[in-house]
Structure 1
Amino acid sequence: MEEEKLSVREYLYSIRFYVLLVSVVFVGSIIVGYAGFLSEIFNVPLEWIQQLSENLKDSTHEYPKWIIFLAFFAVLFLNNSFTCFLDIILGPLIGIFPLFSVFINGGLLGWFAKEQGLIIFLAIVPHGMFEIPAFLLSTSIGLRLGREVLKRKGDRDLKRELRNGLRVFLILVLPLLFFAALIESVLIVATLFL
């Protein structure tokens, strides 16, 4: 049996339903977060982030800007890449992890928007226009793999789906995450040195 290798465009077309589903869950969770239903969950992390931010501002004079930039870039890129990779790899567990990841991230975004106002929108847009599509694509790939697991044994081709999904991850998702981390790191370093 010949291996079916889809082009990136064909693969993206084949996961369009999952992209739509994940986008609806993401937007819905932003609304839920903004409505305040997740306040109890996110209050403690906000306090921790504020304390971390103050500690970072206090220590920025000890290191050159370029080292701080590289540290932030590495942490952001590796963390986001790992999270997106997990969304793909854990998708065969019936999609629970990828959907949970989308819900929590969207809810957190909505909650931050409620707590911080429109300033959070302005802070997220520059890197979010790269990071959010990468995140939604990874989750969609994971859900597609989860669906493949549910197929009858004779109709299932998990290896082919995984290969196609990982190719899209390498060709499209990682470059999007690279640019997102680059922009976010520049913005963080710029605000630390204001």
Structure 2
Amino acid sequence: MKVQIDGWENGGTIPGKFAFGVPASEGHVALSDNISPAISWSGAPAGTKSFAIICHDPDVPSSGEDVNQEGRTIPSTLPRVDFYHWVQLDIPASVTRLEEGAAGKGVVAKGKAPGKNAHGISGLNNYTDWFAGDPDMGGDYGQYDGPCPPWNDSIVHHYHFTVYALDVETLGLQGKFGGPEALAAMEGHILAKGSVVGKYSLNPDVPA
């Protein structure tokens, strides 16, 4: 399958309007437009009954000890884990494009609601975990929320936007679920997939 995103070429730098955070004129990070990018796909095999979109960043520090701490840098040798930014399932087989902003515009305190939407069903992204316990921002974050890597990380982060062609109309997930649960439900149902990768960094010493 071929996947295309309007806004950057595969392997290119993600423009700030698609990010959750951008470099600040004072301090380190300012909130951005946080717009979901337009994404399209083609070449799905016969028998495709639905699509799924998952965006994840595999470069997230496994420990938060040094994250966004003055006078510290997150070492490149630190083990990394996945952070899911978008989990969209049960997209009808007749749909081969989502327009810019279809999965969110702007930073929404306490998150955008997961669950059924115009394109299927949205799971939780990992800002749900990141803001857990924050009285101003804590909540369930569904749909798309873009990049905001640590401003003191020593590596560039890579964001994988993957579209899956599935042999079922629905994966049957309801309630609160995230990327791992979605991927587990897809096992045995993936007919094809394709990806676009974008790079992003908030560390001025490590440009994307």
Q: TM-score, structure 1 length as denominator?
A: 0.27
Between the two structures, name the one with larger relative contact order (CA 8 Å, sep ≥ 6): 1
Greater share of strand: 2
Q: TM-score, structure 2 length as denominator?
A: 0.26
Greater share of helix: 1
